[in-house]
Amino acid sequence: MLESIQVTERLHWPEVEMSKKHILNTADKSVSPNQVRPEKIYNVFKDLFTTGTSSFNVLLQAEEKERQSPKHSPQRRPKTSVKCASTFHKRSRPGIASVMVRAPEGSGNAIQSAHVLSGNHSNFPKPARTITVLGSTMGLSPRPGRHARKACAPNSPRTKFPSLPKSVIAREAENAKKLCILSAIKPSNVEKEKVKFFKSDFNYNPQFEYSNPVSPLVLARHSNASDRFLTQAVRIMELALQKYGSYEAFEQATGGNLLTKSRIWYNVKKYMEKEGCVGEIVVHVTDNLLSRASMTVVNGRPTLTINMSTAREHWLEGMLRHEIGTHYFRGINNSHQPWSSGVGRKKHNLKPLNPTEEGLASIHSVLFRKDPTLWRAALLYYTVYRASQMSFSQLFHDLGRFVQDPNTRWDYCVRAKRGQSNTAQPGCFSKDQVYMDGILKILRYRDKIDFPMLTALGKVSFEDADRLKGLVQMENVRIPHFLQDQACYAAQLQKIMEVNQLTDEELRVII
- As a whole number of angstroms, the distance between CA 387 and CA 189 comes to 20
Q: Which of 11, 42, 54, 453 is nearest to 283 (CA)?
A: 54
* CB-based contact 273:265 (threshold 8 Å): no
- As a whole number of angstroms, the distance between CA 496 and CA 498 comes to 6
* CB-based contact 247:241 (threshold 8 Å): yes
Catalytic residues: 323
Phi, psi at residue 99, to the nearest 5°? -105, 120
Phi, psi at residue 121, to the nearest 5°? -135, 80
Return the amino acid letter for 337: Q
Return the amino acid letter for 81: S
CB atoms within 10 A of CB 380: 21
Which residues, in sequence order, are bridge partners of residue 98? 91, 115
The beta-carbon contacts of 291-295 under 8 Å, at least 24 apart in sequence, are 291/415, 292/319, 293/319, 293/322, 293/323, 294/323, 295/323, 295/324, 295/327, 295/328, 295/331
Dump strand ranges (E) for 103-217.
111-117, 131-134
- C-alpha pair distances (Å), 403 with each of 176, 245, 249, 379, 428: 34, 11, 10, 9, 19
In this structure, are strands 111-117 and 96-102 parallel, antiparallel, or unpaired?
A: antiparallel
* Distance of alpha carbon 417 from the chain centroid: 23
- As a whole number of angstroms, the distance between CA 215 and CA 91 comes to 46
HEC letters along 10-46:
ECCCCCCCCCCCCCCCCCCCCCCHHHCCHHHHHHHHH
